[in-house]
Amino acid sequence: MKKILFAFLIIAGSIPVMAQTYNPKVSKDSLSILNNRVEVLKMNMKVLELKIREAEEEADVVKLRLKLLEANGNAKASSENHSGNINKSGTVVDQKAAEKLSKKAKSDADDAQKALERYNKQITKVEDIRTQIQGEDRKLGYKKPILVYDYK
C-alpha cells in the first residue's frame, strides 16, 4: 500500500511539471525564415497594389486620349470652317460671323492644347508608377526566401 501511495504522490507531483513544459515546434532558424517569408509576401502585396493603381491610371489615359482626339477634331473642323468662310469670296463678307468663327477656332485650339497637357500629365503619372513597380521588383529580387520548416 505504501508503494502505491508513494507512486501516486510521484505521479501527482509530476503532472504540474509536465503541464508547464513547453516544447517549441519551430526552431529559431525556421522563425527567421518565416519572418523573411512574411516580409516577401508584404512586398509582393505592395507590388500588386502598385500594378492595380497603374491599371486604373492607364484607364484614365485611354479616356483622356479619346477626349484629346475629340478636341483635335473639333479644333480642326472649326479652323477649316473659318478658313473656308474666308476663301469663299476672297474677302470677309460678314464681319460678325467671321469673328464668331475665329473665336470658336481659337477656343477649340485652346481646348485641344489643354487636353494634350492633361494627357501628358496622366502618362507621366503612369510612368512614375511603373518606375516604382520596377524598383519594388528589384528589391523583391534580392530577397529569395528559403522555405525550410523544421518541425520537431
**DSSP SS3 for 26:** strand
User: Given this model, what pLDDT does residue 126 score?
Assistant: 95
Beta bridge partners of 26: 151
- Report whether pLDDT(15) > 60: yes
Q: Output the average pLDDT for the chain.
A: 80
**Mean pLDDT of the 19-41 span:** 74
Q: How many other CB atoms are there within 10 angstroms of residue 132's CB atom?
A: 15
Query: In this predicted model, which residue has the larger pLDDT, 142 or 6?
Result: 142
- Report whether pLDDT(37) > 90: no
Residue ranges covered by each domain of the chain: 2-142
Contact assessment for residue 61 and residue 122, using Cβ atoms and an 8 Å cutoff: yes
Q: How many other CB atoms are there within 10 angstroms of residue 151's CB atom?
A: 8
* H or E element, residue 134: helix 95-142
Which tens digits make up the pLDDT trace of 78-104? 878 777 766 665 555 567 777 787 888
Model pTM score = 0.65
- Rounded Cα distance between 75 and 145, Å, is 57
The separation between the first and the last C-alpha atoms of the chain, rounded to the nearest angstrom, is 40
Q: How many other CB atoms are there within 10 angstroms of residue 41's CB atom?
A: 11
User: Given this model, what pLDDT does residue 125 score?
Assistant: 95
Which tens digits make up the pLDDT trace of 59-72? 999 999 999 999 98
